[in-house]
Each structure stands twice: as C-alpha cells, then as structure tokens.
Amino acid sequence: MAKIGGMPNVVFSLYGVLLEGPGPEDRQRIEAAAGVEDPEAFWRVYSQLRPEYEAGLISDKQWWQKVANRAGLVEFSIAEAVAADFGARLDANEDMVAYAEQLIDEGHQVGVLANLPVGLARLVRAKHTWLGDLAAVAMSCDIGVAKPDPRAYAVAVDALGATVKDTLYFDANPSWVAGAREVGLRSYLISGVPSVKQVLATEPRKAPRNKRG
C-alpha cells in the first residue's frame, strides 16, 4: 500500500523504541541464570553470536551452547537462561506505542523491523497485540536475516509497499541506523517521542483521518 497524501512511511525498531531493552537489573538476572563469572567476556560473546540466533537459523539450545563454549560458562540451566533473556525484553515503552498509534491515525503507514529470535518473537506478538495495528511487522527470525544486513531493511520497506526514498527509519542503536543509511533510508537515532516529533515536524502532513472504532 502506498503512502497517503505524500506523508512519509515510518519504520521503527522495537528495542529502545517501542519496547524497552534490558536494564542493569535485567542483565544481572541473565548473568545469574547463566552462571556468568566474567560479565565483560559474556556480553561480548553474547553480542557477537546474536545475529545468527535472531535470524532464526539456530535454536535457543544451540545458541546458548555456543555462548557457553565461547564465554567459558560451565553449569547452568538453558531454560532458565532463556527465560531471563526473553523476560528482559517484553516491556513496552507506552509513550512510544501511543505515539505510533497516533501516527497511524494521522495517515502514516507505520511498520516495524525487529531483531528477535523465534521464541522471543512469539512472546512479543502474544503480549503486544497492538503490533496488529501496524501496516507491516518484519521480524528477523521470520525473514532469515537480521539488522544491519541490508536485506533486512529491504524487506521492511517492501512490506510497506514503499521505497527507501519515501520511508523514515527510527532506531536507538547507532549501528542499525548506520546500516539503514547505507541502503538509502532516511534514518535517525532517537531517544523517545520528542526526537521523533522533531524529525516529523519537517515532513508533509495532512488532517487526521477518522480514528479506528
């Protein structure tokens, strides 16, 4: 579906934008569940191995086994580690969600591009039914590639029936913003509703359409 009235399409990342990412206490719970003795080494390995996991190419068990081997983890419950990891990524940023809904009501096509492993994606979809209000939801585990792979951004834009020229991308991760810019998206590093509003203030607008009943 094409954009309405010259208004830009909008693609949001999930974490750090519409959903809250893990905070310090969440990280401590993950470390405790995984029996981590060297947090710095653990999180380095965690990040390095995440793309394959989030692309849906390996299972929870396979991924945690790889992390354990690389980070020197010894004895821990994979089920508990998965629960701690996923549990840290289920809370919504209510202000941003409400603003995304407002943008939809104003006539923007709004989509999401998110890096999520299969199990977490299932939980997120079940809890956050507002995702169904969006024009398109592209999750890495469903499309087989994760940000910052250029193909991930292409899928998100295509899912909106849009082009990179008429689409804005918002993320809280500098690397993912840079990846989006490399494929031609107008991409912005944001920290909340005001930063999105500041960008959209320069974009063409039209009168709000009728709200969904």
pLDDT exceeds cutoff 70 at 80:
yes
| Residue that has been written with the tokens 């591009």 in this structure | 113
pTM of full prediction above 0.75: yes
Tell me if residue 9 falls in helix, strand or coil: strand
pLDDT above 90 covers a percentage of the chain that reads 91
| Domain 9-21+92-202 of CATH type 3.40.50.1000 | yes
Tell me if residue 86 falls in helix, strand or coil: helix
Tell me if residue 132 falls in helix, strand or coil: helix
Any residues with CB less than 8 A from the CB of 128 and at least 6 apart, and which?
19, 92, 97
CA distance 58 to 123: 18
Q: What is the DSSP secondary structure assignment for residue 111, as one 8-state letter?
A: E
Q: How far is CA 143 from CA 123, 159, 175, in A?
A: 17, 11, 20
Distance of CA 39 to the CA centre of its chain: 24
CA distance 102 to 108: 9
Q: What is the pLDDT of residue 7?
A: 86
Q: What is the DSSP secondary structure assignment for residue 168, as one 8-state letter?
A: E
72: left (phi over 0), alpha (psi -120 to 50) or beta: left
* 2-9: average pLDDT: 67
Residue 176: CB atoms within 10 Å:
23
Q: What is the pLDDT of residue 202?
A: 82
pLDDT tens digits, 131-165: 999 999 999 999 999 999 999 999 999 999 999 99
Q: What is the pLDDT of residue 204?
A: 55
Kindly provide the residue ranges of all beta strands, DSSP E only, lying in 14-114, ordered along the sequence. Answer: 110-114
* 29-49: average pLDDT: 98
pLDDT exceeds cutoff 80 at 28:
yes
CA distance 32 to 137: 33
Which of 88-102, 127-141, 199-213 is least confident?
199-213
CA distance 182 to 127: 33
